[in-house]
Structure 1
């Protein structure tokens, strides 16, 4: 098991706002509301969660080589 990075800098594609967030370690996060423009982000096609689509670091299950969403 490799060391998992728990934080990801999520970037809003609508307004460019960025925020460092602590990712859930055992679940996908399918929605994320930008605190600046209130756009609700959803994963891009082929990605399991918003961190894999818009974060600086992939989600913990993907980092660990596991399946993210089951």
Structure 2
């Protein structure tokens, strides 16, 4: 299975979207929207902001491996 490293994060406050490259060796717990400066945090049960707000889950979850929880 090919791992997708690009994910578009959508801000829950203003709706701004930005494509980002996900880290392959760490989880990203916080993400600051460049439009409104809202700090996004993972929703309960998710390991990172990509799993909560991205178009693709983080690489470890895509590979069905343990994430950084």
TM range (shorter): over 0.9
Gaps of 5+ in 2: none
Structure 1 runs (4+) deviating above 2 angstroms are: none
Q: CA deviation at 1:26?
A: 1.2
* Length-normalised TM-score, structure 2: 0.97
Listed one character per residue, the Cα deviations across residues 26-53 of structure 1 (whole Å, up to 9, x for unaligned) are: 1100000000000000000000000000
The 5-angstrom pairing of residues 1-70 of structure 1 reads: 2-69=1-68
Gaps of 5+ in 1: none
* Length-normalised TM-score, structure 1: 0.96
Aligned length: 69
